[in-house]
Amino acid sequence: MTHTPSHLPPAITVFVQGVGLLGPGLAGWGPGREQLLGTAPYQATRCVLPPPMALPQAERRRAGAVVKLSLAISEEAVAASGLQASTLASVFTSSSGDAVNCHEICSALASSDRLISPTRFHNSVHNAAAGYWSISSGSMATSSVLCARDASFAAGLLEAMVQVATEQVPVLLLAYDTDYPEPLHSTRPIPDSFGVGLVLAPCRSDITQAQWTLEPTACLSSLPADRLDAPVLEKLRQDIPAARCLPLLQGIARQQSGRVVLDYLEGLQLVLQVAP
Amino acid sequence: MAHPLYPLRLSHFTATSCLGRGLTETLDALRARRGGLAPCNFDTVDLPTFVGEVAGTDDVVLPAQWARFDCRNNRLALLGLQQDGFEAAVAEAAARHGPQRVGVFIGTSTSGILQTELAYRRRDPHSGALPADFHYGTTHNTFSVADFTRHHLGLTGPAVVVSSACSSSAKVFASAQRMMRAGLIDAAVVGGVDSLCLTTLYGFNSLGLISEQACRPFDAARNGISIGEAAAFALLERAPARPGPGDVLLLGVGETSDAHHMSSPHPDGLGARLAMEQAMAMAGLRTADIDYINLHGTATQSNDAAEAKAVAALFGTGVPCSSTKGATGHTLGAAGGLEAVVCALALQHGLLPGGINTRERDPALPIHYLTDNLEAAPRHVLSNSFGFGGTNCSLLLGRAG
């Protein structure tokens, strides 16, 4: 027996107020937008992570790649939104934590001297980036820290859109992955760092870049996920879980109206309606 | 700001920890004030500490079709799912709502990282490669436990792991509640699973936060945590208009961040206080309505001091409180789920469990800390879970009828 709701729940609509982007050959949303449009050339050069200047000096010294990446995409997205980071709820989603740090810990634990440093340990938690972000932004609002392996972007987007809809507040979504050192790299061949920051709000404003809508009872689908036309960008989408967002970003760049299908869990995709 | 009330029912729940397998053993241990902490004999760990190990975890065999998920954390997950008829209750919910309308939200801090720790001992001496039988994605990866749970229960809806250290499996209740309010799902399997591993034992040791004795929350002589492991689950559904007598309801959730420090709480427990206030606001309740608080109560000097300030600022000495970590150890990412189940048992059985191992209450912590069990008829209880990175979550559970 399948339950049939007597009335359908209202559609969930959010407005994209700010975008941050950093990845191989992608040095911000300004140039990234042109690259996704095809009006600027794209080459997958090594991602450059800026130092996290927003952090106090002690924390800055301890910050690894995940923290640098997440703070950089946050800064760009929040600045574009015109909102104060200190007021924002946040969703952090990543297919893994800081893999360099994990490698160092596992190496130490497999050695005769199992001493690991306190900094290594507190950087090992999946919410390390959220903790550093909360310290640097001063935001005491809720932060959801998620992992769904290759589905992490869509899982984070779902959580963020649902929060915007149910709480009627803007939410900062940060999705990011960094590459793994050997020997873990062979078991999880993520080639480089990629991160996207999105400020999603419940209302449209002058600076709205796109509108995204989910139908709560019809957004999960077996339709195939959208692919990118440019092979080098499609490779990026497939290689790094956080880059599964690229069809949505390309939709913003193209001021697209219509349907976007994103990779989610095994055999299950997430369907959105997008509009400028 | 208060939300419209959106109560959920914990239609079914279960917990497995060092106190025992399932609700009956857990309740018996709480009634008898019997803890499960013992000197650490886990793997090759050479630290002088106590742990709350779940006996028999490594004897659990995953069904052959899920062999790729085999690791201690998923063995513990399966052991937990098999208690109290939980699998059958989920199957009924999936039949009622459709398997795609049941979400999976599991909290864990380290998931199956032990599998990687063990694999690093078996690296190829020449190439450094990890052994061929190591499956990163279905064991070590943080999502592995939710992925396994989803596959094992035959659910096909949204699934995610919440991994915010020691608040993880409290925050799953909030994510599930929001997704139900938004109409994406009609039911959710929420829970927490965290298992012993060297990363947390040696990691907390590096911070000087591991006690060499069985931990003593809110004791004047407390000196650190004892690490435990647990698997706790609840099936959440929209509460019926007229809940049955004894039904346990999720009435409110509060979630905040400290914005203070990576591994120390805000000294005045400001984020913790805001989380409790939010949970009460969502439930439409006041401090006078709260009958018991299951404290985060890890037994470190600074955590207990900060939480006591937060609780005292809101409740004074008026509300009985305790930490059950003296009995279970700190089960980290599973603590929120485990202690939500302890609260559900308190509501259904009229038992406020006194904290064990606490010999002399710290006179500097001005709260009503129970060191003996109290028979009562609580209607509303709070469960606090706070973690590294300054993440705070407070659940407000109530009893219908």
Which residues, 6 or more positions from B118, have their beta carbon under 8 angstroms from its beta carbon?
Answer: none
Contact state of A142 with B137 under an 8 Å Cβ cutoff:
no
Q: Is A5 on the interface with B (CB under 8 A)?
A: yes
Shortest Cα distance, chain B CAs vs residue A78, angstroms:
17
Shortest Cα distance, chain A CAs vs residue B237, angstroms:
13
> Helix/strand/coil (H, E, C) string of A142-165?
CEEEEECHHHHHHHHHHHHHHHHH
Q: Is A162 on the interface with B (CB under 8 A)?
A: yes
Q: Which DSSP symbol is given to B50?
A: E
- In this predicted structure, the answer to whether residue A87 has a pLDDT above a threshold of 50 is yes
Find the DSSP H helices in chain A: 29-37, 57-62, 65-81, 99-109, 118-123, 128-137, 152-167, 184-187, 231-239, 246-253
Q: How confident is the model at residue A6 (pLDDT cuts 50, 70, 90)?
A: low
pLDDT at position B1: 36
Burial of A83 (0-12, 13-18, 19+ CB in 10 A): middle
Domain boundaries, given as residue ranges, for chain B: 8-399
- Alpha carbons B149 and B156: distance in angstroms, whole number: 11
CATH architecture of B8-399: 3-Layer(aba) Sandwich (3.40)
Tens of pLDDT, residue by residue over A40-54, are 999 999 999 999 988
Pairing of strands B102-107, B187-194: parallel
Cβ-nearest to B389 among A10, A131, A216: A131
Contact in structure between A24 and A215 (CB atoms under 8 Å): no
Cβ-nearest to A9 among B95, B144, B183: B183
> Helix/strand/coil (H, E, C) string of B255-295?
EEECCCCCCCCCCCCHHHHHHHHHHHHHHCCCHHHCCEEEC
Q: How confident is the model at residue B5 (pLDDT cuts 50, 70, 90)?
A: low
Shortest Cα distance, chain A CAs vs residue B95, angstroms:
6
Which residues, 6 or more positions from A111, have their beta carbon under 8 angstroms from its beta carbon?
Answer: none
Cβ-nearest to A148 among B95, B159, B199: B159
pLDDT at position A2: 45
Which residues, 6 or more positions from B172, have their beta carbon under 8 angstroms from its beta carbon?
Answer: B105, B106, B107, B162, B190, B191, B192, B336, B337
Q: Which of residues 195-254 of B touch A (CB under 8 A)?
A: 198-199, 202-204, 206-207
Q: Is A218 on the interface with B (CB under 8 A)?
A: no
Tens of pLDDT, residue by residue over B141-187, are 999 999 999 999 999 999 999 999 999 999 999 999 999 999 999 99
What residue in B sits closest to A99 (Cα-Cα)? B141
Residue keyed to tokens 């925050």: B171
What's the mean pLDDT when you consider all of chain B? 96
- Alpha carbons A149 and A168: distance in angstroms, whole number: 28
Burial of B43 (0-12, 13-18, 19+ CB in 10 A): middle
Do the interacting molecules here have an ipTM over 0.95? yes
Q: Which domains does chain A have, with CATH numbers?
A: 13-209 (3.40.47.10)
- In this predicted structure, the answer to whether residue A62 has a pLDDT above a threshold of 90 is no
Residue A16 parent element (H or E) = strand A12-22
Q: Enter the pTM of the model.
A: 0.97
